[in-house]
Structure 1
Amino acid sequence: MVVGAIKTLILGANGMLGFDLCKAFPDAIKLTHRELDITNRDQVLESILRINPKLVINAAAYTDVEGCEDQQELAFQVNGYGPGYIAEACNKIGAILVHFSTDYVFDGSKKEYVESDAPNPINIYGHSKLLGEKKIIESMDDYRIIRISWLFGTHGRNFVETMLKLSGEIAEVKVVNDQFGKPTYTVDLAHKISELVELDPGIYHITNDGICSWYEFASSFIRNAVPCTSEEFPRKAKRPKYSVLVNTKIEPMRHWKEALKAYLKERNI
């Protein structure tokens, strides 16, 4: 299959990941959340059946981890039931679905997680994303669920942008040094999808290579990061200490340090 030649629909096209997916798939039909409300089953079925794509890439999600704690119903509608409706529509027309999940489906009790490890979320965001995985698996067979972590990209709020802003505003930027994961550049991830679609259906872990703490990540691009513990930086949503995703099924992407250099160059920093 030549992925670029088949009719492709991108949902969540105006988000950080969606923006780079649109660049990677320039001929795709692109819908934002204003154009398609994925929590509306009738609207989802009508739109996808009318467009009749062969490949649907769903980047629509409620990704505010703290916000999910406050707006739990919205989180489960967008991240849980919405993907189920998309999968139902894809199943009706025989389309492949690519959907993005998260490292936060795991509890952090292990240092690394492979695709077959049992999920056990510890916050509402993780629970809602796990529900989305389950709804897709219940609704269709030809899916690719991609668990990703610590996304950064030029088109949206992310950790890198937050740290750069704080670094210019305050003398010391406190960053937790006891949570570990794999930073992932949205450009690299978007360009990996064509390769993924050629592989068997299932769950995949796709991140940039290399493991670090949030503090180590921040220290690689700002000079005034100061380490602190999670206890010193309390937040509403509990975070896993370890959310390192091990990819066992697809060729690894470049190291996050290389990806970060490309990102900073793109941002003219």
Structure 2
Amino acid sequence: MVCRKSMVVGTIKTLILGAGGMLGSDLCKAFPEAVKFTHKDLDITSRKQVLEAIREINPDVVINAAAYTDVDGCEDNQELAYEVNGDGPGNIAEACSIVGAKLVHFSTDYVFDGSKKEYTESATPNPINVYGYSKLLGEKKITENVDDFRIIRISWLFGTHGKNFVDTMLKLSREMDTVKVVNDQFGKPTYTVDLAAKVKEIIGLEPGIYHITNDGICSWYEFASSIIDNVIPCTSEEFPRKAKRPKYSVLANTKTEPMRHWKEALKDYLKERSA
């Protein structure tokens, strides 16, 4: 484990965990003077490492973007999923409680089963895959171990520093005559740059659960149609995956001002990607 010298953002000392990931990379840009840890620096599943590191840094705010996000992979690696997405956040929450730090943690729309058209922050979770169960366990362990938390549920992330749907569509479009994409799963695409910037606001709000996405609802097919021209719709039954997906995972934000529409964010991402 490497402990870098801590810096102060204004009067707030911030620690970012999972700094090497797609969201973590944009968080690092939004909080340039924060202490930044990748997985190589800190294994969040090790309670000992987490407690030692956070005690040493003594941050005011911990932003945890570390997670195991391979939804189908979680079905094959259930123990790892629960360790990283469940036990890890619990370790971080315990350490935050000890040093008196605020914890910002990212959860997922997949804590819901998709039986409703949209879900508010107070809706009752009911996951239908291991990824969702593991992330819900993380939420539970956070609420059990620290009072000053902000759990941000997010969905359909795309950004420049990791594998995402937009890049996959562009790649497949070049390789195939037509690309089949499901038209019966609905959610809200979210640009990591916008989300990272929004975290600054969330830190200053009351503890609790927040649903933060770009505005606008679409199916995966509609999302794909805004990226490539050679896409055709199909049903989930025609495109089976190892992990079951919720049909509707639309997160309703009732606590903060909405972010811009995902189509505007997508235009900026495509410009950034081609720059």
What TM-score bracket applies, with the shorter chain setting the length?
Answer: over 0.9
2:216 is aligned with 1:249: no
Aligned to 1:21, what secondary structure does the other structure show? helix
Counterparts of 1:140-151 in structure 2 under 5 Å? 140-151=146-157
Offset of residue 4 of structure 1: 4.5
Q: Is the 8 A contact 2:9 2:34 kept in 1?
A: no
Q: What corresponds to 1:7 in structure 2?
A: 13
Counterparts of 1:27-176 in structure 2 under 5 Å? 27-176=33-182
Q: Hey, what's the Cα distance between the residues in 2 that align with 1:3 and 1:267?
A: 28
Q: Is the 8 A contact 2:9 2:31 kept in 1?
A: no
In the TM superposition, structure 1's runs of 4+ consecutive aligned residues that sit over 6 Å from their partners are none
2:203 is aligned with 1:197: yes
Call closer, same or farther: CA 1:178–1:140 in 2, change over 3 Å.
same
Aligned to 1:10, what secondary structure does the other structure show? strand
Q: Which runs of 5+ in 2 are unaligned?
A: 1-7
- If the length of structure 2 is used for normalisation, what is the TM-score? 0.96
- If the length of structure 1 is used for normalisation, what is the TM-score? 0.98
- State the identity as a percent: 79
Offset of residue 5 of structure 1: 3.3
Q: What corresponds to 1:236 in structure 2?
A: 242
Q: Hey, what's the Cα distance between the residues in 2 that align with 1:45 and 1:93?
A: 10
Q: Hey, what's the Cα distance between the residues in 1 that align with 2:125 and 2:226?
A: 31
Q: Is the 8 A contact 1:39 1:81 kept in 2?
A: yes
Q: Is the 8 A contact 1:3 1:197 kept in 2?
A: no
Q: Which runs of 5+ in 1 are unaligned?
A: none
Call closer, same or farther: CA 1:25–1:178 in 2, change over 3 Å.
same
1:68-116, CA deviations, whole angstroms, 9 ceiling, x for partnerless residues?
0000000000000100000000000100000000000000000000000
Aligned to 1:267, what secondary structure does the other structure show? helix
Q: What corresponds to 1:26 in structure 2?
A: 32
Call closer, same or farther: CA 1:49–1:145 in 2, change over 3 Å.
same
2:266 is aligned with 1:264: no
How many residue pairs end up in the alignment?
268
Q: Is the 8 A contact 2:180 2:233 kept in 1?
A: yes
Q: Hey, what's the Cα distance between the residues in 2 that align with 1:175 and 1:144?
A: 34
Q: Hey, what's the Cα distance between the residues in 1 that align with 2:40 and 2:96?
A: 20
Q: Hey, what's the Cα distance between the residues in 1 that align with 2:44 and 2:129?
A: 22
Offset of residue 221 of structure 1: 1.3
Q: Is the 8 A contact 2:151 2:209 kept in 1?
A: yes
Q: Hey, what's the Cα distance between the residues in 2 that align with 1:3 and 1:245?
A: 30
RMSD: 1.0
